[in-house]
C-alpha cells in the first residue's frame, strides 16, 4: 500500500487516472461522431434539451451516490455535453457527402455573397449558399436549423461597426465560429451608356455609402444617396428601374451579374476591409496552437469607474483586448452593453481566470464565441 507521505507515487496514481479519464473522453467523442451521422440520416436535431435534462438528473443522482458534489459534477458534465454537440456540429463541415447550408445577407454579387464564395468554395461535400433579404431573417433561419451557418458582416475599417449584427448576437441562440477579413473594392455601376454628370441618385447599403462618402461629396455632390438593404440588391434595382440617372455602389461581380457598366472605380480609401463573422448554433473545436480570439458580451454594473476596473483586471491577467464596442440596451435608456474582443481561448487558464475576475463587475456576461483569428484582422 502506498505511504501517505509518498507524494510522487500519489501524483503518479492521479496522472494514471487522468489518462483513463482522457481515454474515456476520447471514446465518448468518437461515439459523438456516430451520433451525428445517425442524426443526419434521420434529420434529428443536434440538441435534445429533454434528453440532456434527463441525463443531468441521472448524473446528479449518481454523483451523490459516489460521494461527490452533485452541483460540481453537473457543471463538469454540462461541459462534456457541449463538447459532444460541438463535435457533432463539426462533423457536418468535414463530411464529404453532406452539403453545408450557408446563408448570407443580400443577393448574388453582394459582398457577403462574394465573401461566402471565397470561404466555402472547394469544400468536398459541396455548399448550398442562400441569400436573405435581411440579416435578422437569416439568423432566425439559423436558429430554426434551416441553415448550418451564417456569414454576417460585422465591421468595416472605414465606416465602422454593423450594429445590426451586434444586436442579433446579443439576442442569443448562436455563437461565432470563425471570422473572415475581405478587402472591399467598390464600383459605381449604371446602365450601359450612363454618364456621371447625368446621375441623380446613387443606391447602396448604408455602410457602402459611408465608405464612399468622400467620392460622392467631391465627384457627385448633386446626386442623392439612397440607402438599400445590400449592395447586390442595389445593383439589381438599377437594372430593374432601367433609368440612366440612377446608379449603384456595388462589386464588379454585381455589374456582370446584372448587365451594368462600371462608371467609376477607386471610390473608397485604398486600404478598406470588411470583417465578417461566421455564426453557428454551436461552438466548433479549434486545433491546438491556432491563434484565436474570443468575443464577449457584458453588461457592467452601473457604478462609476466600473469600465476602467474591468479593463484593468483584464490587463493584470495579461489578456490583450483588441476591440471594445458599446451598444444601447433596448428599453433601458442610457444603459449600455459592451462587446469585447480579446486574444486567446475562452477555456485557457488566463482568460478563464480573467472572466472570473470581471464577473463581479457585471450584471450579465456571456461568451459569444472563440474562433481562429483571421489573417489581417486587427488585434
Could you list the active site residues?
A: 274, 276
Residue 40 neighbours by CB under 8 Å, 6+ apart: 92, 95, 98
Per the CB < 8 A criterion, the answer to whether 37 and 88 are in contact is: no
Tell whether 343 is in a known binding site.
no
Residue 213 neighbours by CB under 8 Å, 6+ apart: none
Tell whether 48 is in a known binding site.
yes
Q: DSSP string covering 348-363, please?
A: SHHHHHHHHHHGGGEE
**Which residue in 106, 125, 346 sits closest to 232, CA to CA?**
106
Phi and psi based region of residue 106 (left: phi greater than 0; alpha: psi -120 to 50; beta: remaining): left
Tell whether 84 is in a known binding site.
yes
Instruction: Give Rg (Cα) of the chain.
Output: 25
Helix (H, G, I), strand (E, B) or coil at 14: helix
- How far is Cα 379 from Cα 373, in angstroms, rounded to an integer? 9
Tell whether 195 is in a known binding site.
no
CB atoms within 10 A of CB 232: 30
Tell whether 39 is in a known binding site.
yes
Tell whether 88 is in a known binding site.
yes
Tell whether 82 is in a known binding site.
no
Q: Which residues are annotated as a binding site for substrate?
A: 11, 28, 39, 48, 52, 84, 88
Q: Which residues are annotated as a binding site?
A: 11, 28, 39, 48, 52, 84, 88
Amino acid at each position: 500500500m502506498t505511504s501517505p507521505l509518498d507524494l510522487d507515487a500519489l501524483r503518479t496514481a492521479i496522472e494514471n487516472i487522468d489518462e483513463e479519464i482522457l481515454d474515456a473522453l476520447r471514446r465518448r467523442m468518437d461515439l459523438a461522431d456516430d451520433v451525428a451521422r445517425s442524426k443526419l440520416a434521420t434529420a434529428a436535431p443536434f440538441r435534445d434539451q429533454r434528453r440532456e435534462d434527463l441525463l443531468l438528473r441521472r448524473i446528479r443522482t449518481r454523483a451523490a451516490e459516489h460521494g461527490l458534489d452533485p452541483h460540481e459534477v453537473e457543471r463538469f458534465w454540462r461541459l462534456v455535453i457541449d463538447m459532444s454537440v460541438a463535435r457533432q456540429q463539426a462533423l457536418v463541415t468535414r463530411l464529404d457527402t453532406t452539403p453545408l447550408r450557408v446563408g448570407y445577407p443580400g443577393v448574388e454579387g453582394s459582398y457577403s455573397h462574394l465573401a461566402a464564395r471565397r470561404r466555402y468554395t472547394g469544400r468536398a461535400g459541396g455548399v448550398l449558399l442562400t441569400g436573405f433579404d435581411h440579416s435578422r431573417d437569416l439568423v432566425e433561419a439559423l436558429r430554426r436549423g434551416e441553415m448550418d451557418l451564417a456569414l454576417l458582416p460585422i465591421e468595416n475599417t472605414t465606416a465602422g461597426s454593423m450594429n445590426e449584427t451586434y444586436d442579433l448576437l446579443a439576442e442569443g441562440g448562436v455563437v461565432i465560429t470563425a471570422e473572415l477579413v475581405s478587402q472591399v473594392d467598390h464600383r459605381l455601376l449604371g446602365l450601359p451608356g450612363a454618364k456621371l454628370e447625368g446621375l441623380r441618385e446613387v443606391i447602396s447599403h448604408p455602410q457602402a455609402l459611408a465608405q464612399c462618402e468622400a467620392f460622392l461629396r467631391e465627384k457627385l455632390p448633386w446626386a442623392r444617396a439612397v440607402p438599400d438593404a445590400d449592395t447586390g440588391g442595389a445593383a439589381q434595382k438599377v437594372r430593374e428601374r432601367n433609368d440612366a440617372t440612377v446608379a449603384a455602389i456595388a462589386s464588379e461581380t454585381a455589374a456582370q451579374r446584372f448587365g451594368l457598366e462600371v462608371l467609376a472605380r477607386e471610390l473608397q480609401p485604398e486600404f478598406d476591409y470588411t470583417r465578417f463573422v461566421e455564426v453557428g448554433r454551436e461552438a466548433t473545436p479549434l486545433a491546438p496552437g491556432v491563434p484565436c480570439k474570443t468575443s464577449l458580451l457584458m453588461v457592467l454594473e452601473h457604478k462609476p469607474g466600473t469600465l476602467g476596473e474591468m479593463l484593468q483586471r483584464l490587463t493584470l491577467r495579461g489578456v490583450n483586448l483588441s476591440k471594445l464596442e458599446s451598444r444601447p440596451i433596448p428599453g433601458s435608456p442610457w444603459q449600455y452593453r459592451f462587446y469585447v474582443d480579446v486574444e486567446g481561448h475562452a477555456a485557457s487558464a488566463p482568460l478563464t481566470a480573467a472572466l472570473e475576475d470581471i464577473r463581479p463587475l457585471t450584471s450579465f456576461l456571456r461568451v459569444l464565441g472563440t474562433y481562429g483569428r483571421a489573417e489581417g484582422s486587427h488585434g
